[in-house]
Amino acid sequence: MTGIASAVACHAALRRLVVRPHTSRILVTLKVPTGRSISVLYCYPVGSEEWPAEPEVVERVAVRSRVRRGAAIDLVLDRARENRSQIVFTKARGRDAVFWQTARVRRQARPKVTTPTARACGVAALPVVVDSGERYAYKFPRQQVELVRRRLPCGDYGVEVAGTLHAAVERKSLADLVGSLLNSRLKYQLTELAGLAHAAAVVEERYSQVFKLEHERPAVVADGIAELQVAFPGVRIVFCESRQLAEKWTYRFLAAAYAAADHSAEAARVVSTMDEPATMPEPSTAEVRAWARENGLEVPTKGRLHPQVWESVPAPTREAPGRSGAGGGGVASTCRATSFLPATGADGLRLEG
């Protein structure tokens, strides 16, 4: 193998290919289908005898940068658009292979991993609260979760313990991370998250992409992330490479926080609520009027009742008899009225126990 394709570029329609062979160790043959848009090429190294003596050059473009990074070569051509690409040397089915891809495809690449679907930390059904302002929320497919959408005080996803937000995760794309970092919005978000027992900010991108920003200085962004992590050590900033992995990490982080929480206070609150006697609703005016007549009180057929009549009615509770009995007229009764004087004065109502 005696040559290498040193510059490979893709036009907007991806129909023009640049190949500039020169003396090197590897010879790469590129076969490009015509009439169809492509953005990833699979190649394999061959012997020098298969390289044409006079290759057909479609276009010549100067190379601005060519950097070897491990098994990959990053190429930057001297033109404004579609100028970035990458050549990766690897093995496929036991033989050497070369992959060429554009920067656009590399950004959209998905990791070749199979995420587990087993329940996290033994939680059978994790109750996850999703902020109502989250536009493209995680759905946690094939996971044991119970989603509830409502407004969260902070974060995009959280779990509650005893009715209080216990842990939360703020989701960020790389563009959102950079924008909120530069306008100080991220600092205020982390300040709110720092008040929780467990909190994190998950980024749907590789950390290495921070140093490939074109419109912002990578050093400024990297320093800002480091400063926020030092200022808020209790709020983790995690880069998860892709949206899928960020979703899985969010699920397992919330499950771990939920499993480690002290649920005794919540259980005690539920038990105490069950032990308390259930208070019956207040009786209506019609019920009090019927009760007063059955107990010998003179009350008007219409209009408001005298305040002393209302005061004479026992508090309606579950233990109070007569709620639906025949002798109580629909109202709990533990006293017997003997006379009622409608005139204003001292005791207009005399009761005997």
What tens digit of pLDDT does each residue of 38-88 get?
555 667 666 777 777 777 777 788 888 888 877 788 888 888 877 888 888
Q: Which of 238, 268, 298 is the last residue of a domain?
A: 268
Residue 278 lies in a domain: no
Residue 273 lies in a domain: no
- Mean pLDDT computed over 293-315: 80
pLDDT, position 185:
93
Residue 136 lies in a domain: yes
pLDDT, position 114:
64
Model confidence pLDDT, tens digit, residues 321-331: 444 444 444 44
Mean pLDDT estimate for the chain: 74
Residue 314 lies in a domain: yes
Residue 329 lies in a domain: yes
- 170 shares its domain with 256: yes
Rounded to two decimals, the pTM is: 0.48
pLDDT, position 105:
61
- 131 shares its domain with 251: yes
pLDDT, position 101:
76
Q: How far apart are CA 177 and CA 180, in angstroms?
A: 5
Tell me the CB-side half-sphere exposure of residue 181, using CA atoms within 13 A.
Answer: 25
Confidence of residue 5 (pLDDT cuts 50, 70, 90): very low
- Which range marks the domain in which residue 335 is found? 285-352
- 130 shares its domain with 257: yes
Q: How far apart are CA 42 and CA 40, in angstroms?
A: 7
Model confidence pLDDT, tens digit, residues 139-192: 998 888 899 999 999 999 999 998 899 999 999 999 999 999 999 999 999 999
- 139 shares its domain with 264: yes
- 7 shares its domain with 66: yes
Residue 331 lies in a domain: yes
The two tokens of residue 115 are: 């995420």
Return the CATH number at 193.
Answer: 3.40.50.10130
pLDDT, position 218:
93
- 76 shares its domain with 173: no
- What's the domain count of the chain? 3
**Letter string b/e over residues 108-130, b meaning 16 or more CB atoms within 10 A of that residue's CB:** eeeeeeeeeeebbeebeebebbb
- 101 shares its domain with 167: no
Task: Output the 3-class SS for the chain.
Answer: CCEEECCCCECCCCCCECCCEEECCCCEECCCCCCCCCCEEEEEECCHHHCCCCCCCCCCCCEEEEEEECCEEEEEECCCCCCEEEEEEEEECCEEEEEEEEHHHHHCCCCCCCCCCCCCCCCCCEEEEEECCCCCCCCCCCCCEEEEEECCCCCCEEEEECCEEEEEEEEECHHHHHHHHHCCHHHHHHHHHCCCCEEEEEECCCHHHHHHCCCCCHHHHHHHHHHHHHHCCCEEEEECCCHHHHHHHHHHHHHHHHHHCCCHHHHHHHHHHHHCCCECCCCCHHHHHHHHHHCCCCCCCCCCCCHHHHHHCCCCECCCCCCCCCCCCCCCCCCEEEEECCCCCCCCEEEEC
Q: How far apart are CA 35 and CA 175, in angstroms?
A: 34
Model confidence pLDDT, tens digit, residues 201-223: 999 999 999 999 988 999 999 99
pLDDT, position 304:
81
Model confidence pLDDT, tens digit, residues 97-120: 787 777 666 555 555 566 666 677
- 87 shares its domain with 141: no
% of residues, the chain, pLDDT over 70: 66
pLDDT, position 220:
95
Q: How far apart are CA 8 and CA 16, in angstroms?
A: 10
pLDDT, position 272:
58
- Residue pair 148/129 in contact (Cβ under 8 Å)? The answer is yes
pLDDT, position 42:
63
Residue 198 lies in a domain: yes
pLDDT, position 326:
41
Q: How far apart are CA 217 and CA 197, in angstroms?
A: 34
- Residue pair 136/142 in contact (Cβ under 8 Å)? The answer is no
% of residues, the chain, pLDDT over 90: 31
- 257 shares its domain with 149: yes
- Name the more confident of 318 and 239: 239
Residue 211 lies in a domain: yes
- 217 shares its domain with 306: no
Model confidence pLDDT, tens digit, residues 275-292: 556 566 778 888 888 888
